[in-house]
Structure 1
Amino acid sequence: MRTAQEDLRASEVLRDAGLFSHSCFLAQQSAEKAVKSIHLIQDRDPWGHGIQKLLADLPEPPPAMVPWQDYLDKAAALDRFYIPARYPNGLPDLTPGTTFTRRDADTALVQARTIVEAAENSLRPGQG
């Protein structure tokens, strides 16, 4: 979980520095790592990078928590950043640095923060 939190902070720094594509990618990474940490704490072997699939593969959390299915829209939005935000050929005739905006980074951070916080809550004693 610590690495997920660090990626989230780095995403904020990159956004503030105007490096929006990098910020979007690290926001995606923070959510991915947070969900993987839940798998790992449950002795599960997470595979892949799609946050949607990683969430769908989790058993449902305790009744006091929001079901993982409620986070799938946020996961889908973040999953879109996994390739295009990193590679110059990820989008036809465009490069990440000229494509992604502050608005993209802000949105990615909000979505990632929501997933990271939910993952943190699920790992607290007595939660799951």
Structure 2
Amino acid sequence: SPRGEGWRWLEQAQADLRWARHLNEQGAYYLVCFLAQQAAEKALKAFLYAQGEELVVGHSVRQLCKRAAEYDTRFRHYLNDWGVLDSYYIPTRYPNGLPDDIPARVYNLQAAEGALTLAEAVVAEIESWFAATGTKGEAPGGGVG
């Protein structure tokens, strides 16, 4: 079901977020920033799959948020804030995005905590939507959707 597929994506987003928190405690800030972006991306994809979209492509949190706003206008309010996470998709992983340095040295606690805060907001918003509209793989009203 679309809702079941959405739930699978949300579960992975939640797992990414848990690992991001753990890695933050270990000081792997560049990985925290990347996983925060991934958690937000997957949470938004969860919402889109739950709407019945069959193939959700792209990695931009901002663009996925814009698509989500086509189903629920409240997502328009998050475009700019959540879109900041897009800046963590590539530079956190590849040295060629950072002249004369590497991600492991550039990203710090402040960046990681900011990324975590944004990702937590995205995941919480999607969790709230799922909670308000039914549970896990079920459609509202208890039937399998």
Q: How many residues align?
A: 124
- 2:50 pairs with 1:34: no
Cα offset for 1:2? 0.6
> Does the 8 Å contact 1:34/1:115 carry over to 2?
yes
Shift of 1:75: 2.0
CA distance in 1, matches of 2:52, 2:20: 28
Match of 2:120 in 1: 113
TM-score of the superposition, structure 2-length normalised?
0.80
The percentage of counterpart residues that share the same residue type is 35
Task: Indicate whether 1:72 and 2:100 are aligned.
Answer: no
Q: What is the match of residue 7 of structure 1?
A: 16
Structure 2 residue aligned with 1:16: 25
Rg: which structure is higher?
2
Q: Which residue of 2 aligns with 1:86?
A: 93
Contact 1:60–1:67 under 8 Å retained in 2:
no
- 5+ residue gaps in structure 2? 1-9, 135-139, 141-145
The residue aligned with 2:4 is: none
Q: Structure 1: which 5+ runs fail to align?
A: none
Q: CA deviation at 1:126?
A: 3.1
Paired residues for 1:85-104 under 5 Å:
85-104=92-111
Deviation at 1:113, TM superposition (A): 0.3
Residues in 1 aligned to 2:26 and 2:131: alpha-carbon distance in whole angstroms: 33
Q: Alignment partner for residue 46 of structure 1, among 56, 59, 78?
A: 56
- The Cα of 1:68 is off from its aligned counterpart by 0.2
1:55 to 62, 65, 69: 65
1:35-92, CA deviations, whole angstroms, 9 ceiling, x for partnerless residues?
000111112121100010011012242xxxx710111122221110000001111222
Deviates more, 1:83-92 or 1:96-105: 83-92
Q: For the residues of structure 1 that align with 2:30 and 2:67, how far apart are their CA atoms?
A: 28
Q: Distance in 2 between the 1:76 and 1:57 partners? A: 13
CA positional deviation for 1:125 = 4.1
